[in-house]
Amino acid sequence: MRKFLSATLACLILASIANAQTQEVTGKIVDSTGAPISGATLKVKGSKTGASAAPDGSFKIKIPHGSTLIVSSIGFTPQEIASVGNSPLMITLNGSNRTMNEVVVTAIGISREKRELGSATQTITADQLNRTGSGNPLSELNGKASGLTVVNSSGDPGAGTYIRLRGVTSITGNNQPLMVVDGVPIDNSINTYDPTGAGILASGANGNLTGGTQPTNRGVDLNPNDIESVTLLKGPAATALYGIQAASGALIITTKRGGTGQGPVISFNSSTSIDHTNKLPERQNIYSQGDNGKYFGPTDGSSSKFTWGARIDTLFRNGVADAYDPNGKIVGASDPTKKTRAVAYDPYKFFRTGLTYNNNIALSGGNSKTAYRMSLGNLHQLGVIPQTKYDKTTFNINGQATLSSRFTISGGINFIRGDNDKAQQGSNTSGVMLGLLRTPTTFDNSNGLSDPVNNPASYVLPNGKERDYRGGPGYDNPYWTVNRVIFHEDLLRAFGYGQASYQLLDWITIAYKLGGDIYSQNDKNAYDIGSNIAPAGAVHLSNFYNQQYNSDITVSLKKNLTSDLSSSLLVGHNYFTLNQHTKLSHGTGLTLPDFLDMANAQSYTNQEFDSRKRSSAFYAEGHLSWKDMLFLTLTGRRETSSTLPAKNNSFFYPSASLAWEFYKAGGANTVLSYGKLRTSFAQVGKDAPTHSLETYYLPSAVSDGFTTGLVYPINGNTGYQFGSSVAIIGNPNLKAEKTSSFEFGTDLGFWKNRVSLNATLYYSRSSDVILTVPVAFTSGFAAELLNAAVITNKGLEITLNTTPLRSNNWRWDLNFNWARNINLVKSLAPGVDRVLLAGFTNGEVDALAGKPFGVIYGTTYVRSNPTDLKSPLLINDRKGDDGYGMPIVSNQSMALGQIDPDWTASVINNLTFKGFTLGVQVDIRHGGNLWDGTRGAMTYFGTSQLTANRGQATTFKGVAGHLNDNGDVAHFDAAGNETLKPGGPNTVASSLNEFYYQNIGNSFIGPIEANIENSGFVRIRQASLGYQLPASVLKNMHLRSLSLTIFANNPALWTKYKGVDPETSLAGPANGQGLDYFNNPGIRSYGVRLGLSL
């Protein structure tokens, strides 16, 4: 250490001798609020000398006398300081994405001033992240940019987060953007095995996950505390240089690093929050368990599955405690054994208060040549569902060194360990919400116990069988589920990079970067003996091992051609390789109860899924700048991918973009302070899934849609099959998908940029889109892979940033984001107009030709014109029918809803007064639908609030009629004769009775139409109030900074949606969004955050 120090010292001395005419400048860089800007860079104009600020904003740099300092930081206006006076300097950067002058990192790590870009990007900086302390870097982005869709699948710890830029461009492939950390792509896969669903085929972007647990997408592994900024490259023009991986846009994540010329700085952040469910489906608590108005108890057979019993206020308990209720059996008012009045229990007390601790400590610093940062973070979350938890520990270390005036190296590595216990959800008899919401209000899942989670008497009967409201087969008691149906996931991951850059000549730099991302995810999912979904018990072990490496070599050339024209050129080569290994072991038939171990199983089956991929590419980017106001960028990339047949595996895509700062040509005035027009054209492609060129023999398995079926070997015989009900015909002629896009935009600044407006209009067309097209089983197969679909997206994105108030002590920033995307699936494949994305035969989300991607498709009510959803309902006029006077359920399916909203917006408020900062973010989603299958099933079972008005008389709006024997619309005329065409308006009063709710008024048995709901909302996403101690106080405390923030996440939500938080997804972060079928609830949190640095 001492040797190193003395060597460094010697260097410094030598350096100072060499530059006798230098001065040392020290100081601090802060933003307009006085908060330090960590990592701000200082450069001497016209030279390579530079330094960066420490986390507390302080810096030290040696500069030649009389030189000009350029101070810049991502998200702030660079500032030039021409005559550097006496230090220390206090440099205030104005900032935060209000100006066009920020530097952004674009594809392949190229830094460029935003003003020079011809395509839309948006940067979210560290001070906007981490306000909620949720520890999920993806959900933190929610609402912070236009054109960005973020959907948290549920409030479960570790649940996945669906993320998308603009519209979808792929039907059955991945639509999520590429995640790039410090220039290296990292994995954002969904790895899951759902034994209740379609098995391994349910994994990935094309997953149809309807049961099991909420899957995690691996992007949530990042630690938001380590993120300096996230730049969104929204369209193909911005990502064309990245190639196939970034065809859906990219999130360019830059991590925090140490400042050169800075002693060690320790910063510590800690937040603690409490979490509650923020919205639950409303239940009725008037009527008891039973059927046809009569009470039936847990042991009374199939009538006990419903909550269509007697009014609870007419019922009593007999006081003789039994295994089902400590207050005894329910009896009628006339029963002599009656003791106490029956009461409605509250099933929702099942949920607990969640807790989240998020702690992070970082050490950073450096000398004039080197810098480093180390960070250790821990997120510890206890979910609102008992026994669920998530623990994530991250360690990050990075550094950079200037080895000579021409040679720099840098590198960083992240280690992540995750530990996650999840609860079952969705369409799954072990699903927590399924069991909970079907439970009648007269049955107490907790059995009156004070600690039902840890006391098996709540979920196990004295005879060892499960205690549930149906007294046997049906649905698991949620307390059983969280104790006896376990899902545990652990993750070990490392990713990082090393980079070297050498300046060959003043105008040529060669750089090489090698990055890797390796992880192993181990899941254990087990069902104890007696669980409804696997009565014999089962253990499933899954291991997902993933490694990917990325290599980029680039040569960049910079030259001023004339005094007006400067140019740069970058040529590079990329090599990427991916290896995925999945191993699944299944043990069925357990011997001992409450022993969820693989060795306890009686039989075993195993599966392996491996996939490898390689791609390489040459690419180039040329950039011309004329008079510092007109900028032209041309890119090209020729890529070769292993997933395509040799004859089609190389393809080229170009992009061109032009930006013009017209205000420099005399357009500026007192109102307009900045003006730019930009336009771009780009083409990108996507390759095929691995192993899609051939039809393969696979290990045999057979199932029939009702049962899990056979898995070979059977009785010692191994089986392989070529065709099967899930087999896909390979396609040796696949070629790359192609997306072409145009974009046009403007960036304007008014009144010295106190108001700035960015608007982007875009159009893209994706053709030859690869999708799995179903075929007739009589071909011997289930589907084939085709280059077939055509999808278009057009949209408008607007960002408006304003500073209504700015004075010495006050500052108020008010920023708006607004976006609308119009997607259209123009065609799917010849003869195919519908492809299932996710869901069930009664409640599915499809891609439908001629409609926007993500259509909720299903059965309807019969209308006077059955093909027109706008025509009046046909009200049954057959007197003998149970449904007389009620709407009629059709067996016709139609497009009923659309999952994407009409538009989304956010309003971000930031008010500072001296050391105080008040931040409020409001998000708006207008339009869009969800299928509320939860409410449908609850209505059928009689637990939904909707059924509280049971028995009430109503006259349904519509016209009298019915379908005749030929299926045509007809009605009975005054004489009682059947006549074609509908009759007059309905005048028959009918009752909202059990028949209506069970057969007509819900989507569980009745039409899907009954439960299509608007999923729009207005919500306060975040609210926070922080206080930063002033420097004068800190000095005495020997602290660099100290801040305290109280925050609320999701404190208020206004929505018409009647289920859980409308930001929900049964299929998790997969393409098939828009389904709610007993989804686990979302959460609201309140917390406090402490920030400290010394």
Partner 1 sequence: MKYTYLLLILLAASACKKSFYTDVNINPNAPSPNSIVPSVLLPSVEGALAYMQGGDLSRFSALNLQQVTGNARQAQAFSQYTYTLQDFDAAWGNIYADVLENNEVLLQMADAKGYHAYSGIARILKAYTMQLAVDNWGSVPYSNALLGNSGNLKPAFDNDRKLYDTIAKLTTDGIAQLNNTDRGVLTPSDDDAVYGGKAGLWIKFAHAIRARLFLHQSKGNAAMAAGALGEINQSFTSNADNAQYVFGNTETSANPWYQFNEQRTDISFNNATMVDVMTILRDPRLPILIDTANDGLLYYGVINAPVEFITYDELLFAGAEATLRNGGTTAAANVLYQKAIKSNMQKLGVKDADIDTYIALIESLTLTNDVDQSIKLIATQEYFALYLNPEAWTLWRRTNSPTLTPATGAGIPRRLLYPQSEYSYNKANTPASVTLYSPRIFWDN
- Name residues contacting partner 1, limited to 689-748 (CB under 8 A): 690-691, 693-698, 700, 702-725, 727, 729
Q: Taking CB under 8 A as the criterion, which residues in 596-655 touch partner 1?
A: 602-603, 605, 608-610, 612-614, 616, 618, 640-643, 645-646, 649
Tokens 């998530």 identify what position? 390
Contact call for residue 536 and partner 1 (CB under 8 A)? yes
Taking the least distance from each CB to partner 1, the nearer of 463 and 778 is 778
Dihedral of the alpha carbons of 868, 872, 876, 882, in degrees to the nearest 10: 90
**Is the distance from CB of 50 to CB of 41 less than 8 angstroms?**
yes
DSSP state of 430: T
- Rule CB under 8 A: say whether 779 interacts with partner 1: yes
595 binds partner 1 (CB under 8 A): no
Nearest to 696 by CA among 662, 671, 724, 718: 724
Give min distance, CB of 847 to partner 1, in A: 14
Tell me which stretch binds partner 1 (CB under 8 A): 1-9, 98-106, 267-275, 528-536. 528-536
Q: Which of 404, 562, 778, 867 binds partner 1 (CB under 8 A)?
A: 778
Closer to partner 1 at the Cβ: 595 or 1027? 595
Least Å from the CB of residue 177 to partner 1? 25
Work out how close the CB of 785 gets to partner 1 at its nearest, in angstroms, rounded to a whole number. 12
The number of beta carbons lying within 10 Å of the beta carbon of residue 564 is 12
Task: Rank residues 77 and 721 by Cβ distance to partner 1 and give the closer one.
Answer: 721
Nearest approach, Cβ of residue 929 and partner 1 (Å): 23
Distance in Å, CB of 573 to partner 1, minimum: 5
CB of 192 to partner 1, least distance (A): 18
Report the site for partner 1 in 108-137 (rule: CB under 8 A): none
Residues between 884 and 943 with contacts to partner 1, criterion CB under 8 A: 891
Find the binder of partner 1 among 553, 557, 1029, 1031 (CB under 8 A): 553
How far apart, in Å, are the Cα atoms of 9 and each of 27, 264, 534? 21, 17, 70
Tell the residue number behind the tokens 């206020």, with chain if given. Answer: 313
Smaller CB separation from partner 1, 376 or 536: 536
Measured from the CB atom, the residue of 357 and 609 that comes closer to partner 1 is: 609
Residue 1067 Cβ, how far from partner 1 at the closest point, in Å?
20
The CB-of-553 to partner 1 minimum distance in angstroms stands at 6
Backbone angles phi, psi at 836, to 5 degrees: -70, 135
Which positions from 418 through 437 interact with partner 1, judged by CB under 8 A? none
- Work out the angle at residue 995's Cα, subtended by the Cα atoms of residues 989 and 998, and round it to the nearest 5 degrees: 125
CA distance 171 to 790: 9
CB of 753 to partner 1, least distance (A): 43
How would you write 239-300 as a 3-class SS string? HHHHHHHHCCCEEEEEECCCCCCEEEEEEEEEEEEEEEECCCCCECCCECCEECCEECCCCC
Least separation, in Å, of the C-beta of 30 and partner 1? 40
Element (H, E) at 13: helix 2-18
Q: What are phi and psi of 493, to 5 degrees?
A: -145, 145
State the minimum distance, in angstroms, from the CB of residue 542 to partner 1: 15
69 vs 590, beta carbon nearer partner 1:
590
User: What is the maximum alpha-carbon separation in the chain?
Assistant: 114
Among 268, 357, 415, 502, binds partner 1 (CB under 8 A): 502
Comparison of 520 and 690: residue with beta carbon closer to partner 1: 690
Q: How far is the CB of 776 from partner 1 (least distance, A)?
A: 4
Q: How far is the CB of 702 from partner 1 (least distance, A)?
A: 5
The tally of CA atoms less than 13 A away on the side-chain side of residue 572 is: 29
Residue closer to partner 1 by CB (options 571, 918) is 571
Q: Under rule CB under 8 A, how many of the chain's residues touch partner 1? A: 85
The C-alpha atoms of residue 833 and residue 466 are separated, in whole angstroms, by: 46
Which residue, 713 or 951, has its beta carbon nearer to partner 1?
Answer: 713
510 binds partner 1 (CB under 8 A): yes
Nearer residue to partner 1 within complex by CB, 604 or 1054: 604
Q: Which is nearer to partner 1, 688 or 1012 (CB)?
A: 688
Is 616 or 871 the residue whose CB approaches partner 1 more closely?
A: 616
Q: For CA atoms 587, 588, 591, 595, give the dihedral sign.
A: positive
Minimum CB distance to partner 1 smaller for 12 or for 1005:
1005
Q: Which is nearer to partner 1, 681 or 781 (CB)?
A: 781
Residues 6+ apart with CB under 8 A from 570: 108, 110, 554, 555, 556, 557, 620, 621, 622
Burial of 1008 (C-beta count, 10 Å sphere; 0-12/13-18/19+)? buried
The span of 125-133, 265-273, 769-777, 868-876 binding partner 1 (CB under 8 A) equals 769-777
Which of the stretches 328-336, 479-487, 619-627, 780-788 binds partner 1 when contact is defined by CB under 8 A? 780-788
- By CB under 8 A, is residue 965 in contact with partner 1? no
Contacts with partner 1 in 822-881 (CB under 8 A)? 831-832, 834, 841
The single-letter DSSP state of residue 688 is P
Q: Residue 612 or 981: which CB sits closer to partner 1?
A: 612
Which of 159, 186, 205, 538 touches partner 1 by CB under 8 A? Answer: 538
Contact 150, 773 (CB under 8 A): no
- Find the binding residues for partner 1 in span 153-212 (CB under 8 A): none
Residue 580 in contact with partner 1, rule: CB under 8 A: no
The least distance separating partner 1 from the CB of residue 204, rounded to whole angstroms, comes to 16
What is the C-alpha separation between 49 and 66, in angstroms, rounded? 14
How far separated are the first and last CA of the chain, in Å rounded? 22
Structure tokens at 906: 């956010």
Stated as kind and residue range, the H or E segment containing 8 is helix 2-18
What three-state secondary structure class fits 919?
Answer: strand
Q: Which of residues 463-482 bind partner 1 (CB under 8 A)?
A: 473
Q: Minimum Å distance from CB 586 to partner 1?
A: 7
| Mask for 438-467, x = binds partner 1 (CB under 8 A) | ------------------------------
Task: Pick from 151, 775, 888, 899 the residue near partner 1 by CB under 8 A.
Answer: 775
**What are the DSSP E strand ranges found in 354-507?**
354-366, 370-382, 389-402, 407-421, 485-505
Residue 435 C-beta: closest distance to partner 1, Å = 16
CB 1041 within 8 A of CB 266: no
Rounded to the nearest whole angstrom, what is the least distance from the CB of residue 983 to partner 1 in the complex?
25
CB of 511 or CB of 659, closer to partner 1: 511
Q: Which two tokens stand for residue 531?
A: 């669980």
Whichever of 554 and 568 has its CB closer to partner 1, that residue is 554
Q: Is there a contact between 591 and 600 (Cβ–Cβ < 8 Å)?
A: yes
No. of H helices and E strands in the chain?
7, 61
CA atoms within 13 A on the CB side of 133: 33
Question: Please, which of residues 287-346 interact with partner 1 by CB under 8 A?
Answer: 302
Q: Which of 328, 296, 298, 324 is nearest to 309 (CA)?
A: 296
Kindly identify the residues of this chain, within the stretch 974-1003, that bind partner 1 according to CB under 8 A.
Answer: none
> 955 - beta bridge partners?
none
Minimum CB separation of residue 520 from partner 1 in Å reads 19
Which residues, 6 or more positions from 940, have their beta carbon under 8 angstroms from its beta carbon? 997, 998, 1002, 1004, 1005
Between residues 356 and 588, which has the closer beta carbon with respect to partner 1?
Answer: 588
